[in-house]
């Protein structure tokens, strides 16, 4: 067993040494693998962060309840107090029609146009915040109940767009998986082709090994280790590339978050994702070299 | 030990390198194979090493037909046969030691034992002092001796050598042949293709002669019956 490990370690180191003999070609191949793996890795980071941010928004499940235009301030107040006493509602805020118009005039720049109106077209509105533990089903029921009130005109769930955004992110996430699959296939070809050239360059050596009685497995082993090293180095290169990209974007992202009053920060690859990226690299390296040796080594016969 | 049972070998393109060859070689025999170039000497040796397969007939080695040996069994089969090539077939990016060690490394022998046996083999071909050099720094004769050390290091039952003295001066050739005699003395079966007739005659071992793929003379069977029996 010990001897077996020793032989494998020796083969692994010898393969590494062979790669070090032609550093430029090795670095280029590793970069190709690294960049290809970094692409889905970076997209994963992007989606993950977008999900985190939109998840924060999801917590705010406020309803905007626009009242009928003929409801006056006192009736609106009364309704607000009534609703606030319900067990499934945490808080109700009244948005006065006149205050809303004022704020709109100020923020929209339509001040002069609005002055031309005889009366305020806006109704009073209630912002209803349900209790945090309310399930989506109960929330939908509540919405329906509010809509059925005679005073209510329109009830809007403010977070509907958040759900849509998250659904879109799920779609993007699925697309990333598909893209990653295709890129993986491309990597298999790249690594397989590199090993194929290596096999052709060492044809004489393989023939001599066959003549002294080396088994196919023995001859194949150094090429498998070469694929392993390519995959490992490529995976690590991808991790570094994603980390660099994350670091470069962290500044602008926190500035953007600050402008929106948020404080979230860009998070890079976590330990698990790093592990997956490196493992995928190693897996593709081994698979690519295995395919290349299976396909091309058998064609070599000593002459 | 080795038996050719009515063996013919025709290469793609129609050239028949061996025709209806009948040959028996006992264990521990040293046999010289002679003949003009193209007479089929190399083909005969390559059929034993399973580098070629016969078109007709079969080759038996150690009472076992080689016909059933497929790709999987080939490696194990070749470990029992030491091969010496005219063009040496050495790995030029490895030291003399590593070249000779190759047949032992593939069997998974422990490094300590490998060292011992490689040095013993190098000592026999008188190259112990050059174990750390690379083959290209050696003369052709020395490279040939590295090839011989590699062929015998795993103590094979059979050694086949194709023109092992082809590039050597008479003095060195004699040395190499004496070396082969020593292997014969410890029970190894040897087949050596050579056209160095004066040396072969002088050594006086069994000698078979091929001419255009046919066995035309066998010193162990002077009447030449074998050759005519088949026609």
Q: What is the pLDDT along chain B (231 residues), one digit of tens a residue?
A: 999 999 999 998 888 899 999 999 999 999 999 998 888 999 999 999 999 999 999 999 998 899 989 888 999 999 999 999 988 899 998 999 999 999 999 988 888 899 999 999 999 888 999 999 999 999 888 999 999 999 999 999 999 999 888 777 888 888 889 889 999 999 999 999 998 888 888 888 999 999 998 998 888 877 655 444 444
How far apart CA B20 and CA B185 sit, in angstroms, is 31
Domain boundaries, chain B: 1-80+160-231, 84-155
- CA dist B170 and B38 (Å) reads 23
Identify the CATH assignment for B1-80+160-231 out of 3.20.20.80, 1.20.950.20, 3.40.50.300, 1.10.287.70: 3.40.50.300
Measure the CA–CA gap between A201 and A185, rounded to whole angstroms.
24
State whether residue B229 is helix, strand or coil. Answer: helix
Architecture of domain A63-156 in this structure: 2-Layer Sandwich (3.30)
> By C-alpha distance, which of A85, A47, A32 is closest to A288?
A32
Judge: A212–B78 Cβ closer than 8 Å, yes or no. Answer: yes
Residue A90 three-state SS: strand
Q: How far separated are the first and last CA of chain B, in Å rounded?
A: 25
Please work out, in degrees rounded to the nearest 5, the angle formed at the alpha carbon of residue B121 by the alpha carbons of B120 and B127.
95
Say whether A214 and B75 touch across the interface (CB within 8 A).
yes
CB contact under 8 Å between A213 and B77, yes or no, is yes
Minimal CA–CA distance to B45: which of B57, B55, B56, B34? B34
Q: Which of B11, B53, B104, B106 to mutate to test the interface with A (most CBs of A within 10 A)?
A: B106
pLDDT tens across A139-190, in order? Answer: 788 888 888 888 888 888 766 777 777 788 888 888 888 999 999 999 999 9
Helix axes of B140-152 and B96-105: crossing angle, nearest 10 degrees: 20
Measured CA to CA, the distance from residue A196 to residue A296 in angstroms comes to 7
Give yes or no for a contact between A89 and A155, defined as CB atoms under 8 angstroms apart.
Answer: no
- B81, B83, B110: residue with CB nearest A3: B110
Q: Identify the residue whose tokens are 């609703």.
A: A83
Task: Collect all residues of chain B within an 8 Å Cβ-Cβ radius of residue A301.
Answer: 51
Sheet-wide strand order for A152-157: A89-95, A125-130, A63-67, A152-157
Ranges for all domains in chain A classified under CATH 3.30.70.3040:
63-156
Q: Could you identify the residue written with the tokens 């082969």?
A: B180
Chain A environment of B150 (Cβ under 8 Å): 212
Partner residue facing B150 (CB), from A204, A210, A212 = A212
Q: What is the 3-state secondary structure (H, E, C) of A146-215?
A: HHHCCCEEEEEECCHHHHHHHHHHHHHHHHHHHHHHHHHHHHHHHHHHHHHHHHHHCHHHHHHHHHCCCC
Max mean pLDDT range (A113-117, A235-239, B200-204): A235-239
Its ipTM equals 0.88
What do you get for the CA distance between the two ends of chain A, in Å?
35
Cα–Cα nearest to B189, from B36, B45, B70: B45
What average pLDDT does the segment A245-263 reach? Answer: 82
Strand, coil or helix: B219:
coil
* B29 touches B1 (CB < 8 A): yes
């Amino acid at each position: 067993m010990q001897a077996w490990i020793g032989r494998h370690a020796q083969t692994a180191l010898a393969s590494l040494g062979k790669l070090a003999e032609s550093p430029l070609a090795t670095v280029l191949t590793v970069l190709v693998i690294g960049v290809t793996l970094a692409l889905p890795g970076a997209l994963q980071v992007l989606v993950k962060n977008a999900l985190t941010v939109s998840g924060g928004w999801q917590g705010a499940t406020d309803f905007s309840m626009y009242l009928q235009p003929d409801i006056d301030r006192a009736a609106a107040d009364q309704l607000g107090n009534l609703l606030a006493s319900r067990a499934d509602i945490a808080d109700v805020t009244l948005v006065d029609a006149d205050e809303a118009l004022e704020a709109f005039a100020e923020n929209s720049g339509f001040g002069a146009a609005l002055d031309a109106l005889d009366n305020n077209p806006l109704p009073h509105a209630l912002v209803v915040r349900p209790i945090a533990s309310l399930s989506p089903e109960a929330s939908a029921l509540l919405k329906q109940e509010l809509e059925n009130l005679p005073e209510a005109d329109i009830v809007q769930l403010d977070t509907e767009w958040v759900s849509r955004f998250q659904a879109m992110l799920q779609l993007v996430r699925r697309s990333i998986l598909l893209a990653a699959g295709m890129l993986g296939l491309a990597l298999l070809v790249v690594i397989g082709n590199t090993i194929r050239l290596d096999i052709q360059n060492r044809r004489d050596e393989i023939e001599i090994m066959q003549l002294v009685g080396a088994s196919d497995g023995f001859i194949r082993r150094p090429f498998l280790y070469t694929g392993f090293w390519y995959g490992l180095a490529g995976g690590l290169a991808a991790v570094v590339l994603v980390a660099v990209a994350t670091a470069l974007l962290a500044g602008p992202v926190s500035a953007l978050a600050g402008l929106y009053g948020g404080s979230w920060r860009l998070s890079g690859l976590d330990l698990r994702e790093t592990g997956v990226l490196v493992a995928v690299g190693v897996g593709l390296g081994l698979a690519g070299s295995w395919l290349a040796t299976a396909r091309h080594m058998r064609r070599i016969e000593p002459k | 030990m080795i038996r050719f049972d009515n063996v013919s070998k025709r290469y793609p393109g129609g050239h028949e390198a061996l025709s209806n060859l009948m040959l028996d070689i006992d264990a521990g025999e040293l046999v010289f194979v002679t003949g003009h170039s193209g007479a089929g000497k190399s083909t005969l040796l390559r059929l034993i090493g399973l580098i070629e397969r016969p078109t007709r007939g079969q080759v038996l080695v150690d009472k076992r037909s080689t016909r059933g040996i497929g790709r999987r069994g080939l490696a194990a089969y070749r470990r029992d046969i030491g091969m010496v090539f005219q063009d040496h077939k050495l790995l030029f990016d490895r030291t003399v030691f590593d070249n000779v060690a190759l047949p032992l490394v593939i069997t998974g022998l422990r490094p300590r034992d490998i060292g011992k046996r490689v040095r013993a083999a190098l000592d026999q071909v008188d190259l112990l002092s050059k174990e750390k050099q690379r083959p290209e720094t050696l003369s052709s004769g020395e490279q040939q001796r590295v090839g011989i050390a590699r062929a015998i290091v795993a103590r094979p039952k059979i050694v086949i050598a194709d023109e092992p003295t082809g590039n050597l001066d008479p003095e060195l050739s004699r040395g190499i042949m004496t070396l082969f005699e020593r292997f014969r003395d410890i029970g190894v079966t040897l087949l050596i293709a050579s056209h160095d007739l004066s040396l072969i005659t002088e050594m006086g071992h069994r000698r078979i002669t091929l001419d255009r793929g046919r066995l035309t003379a066998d010193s162990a069977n002077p009447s030449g019956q074998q050759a005519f029996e088949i026609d």
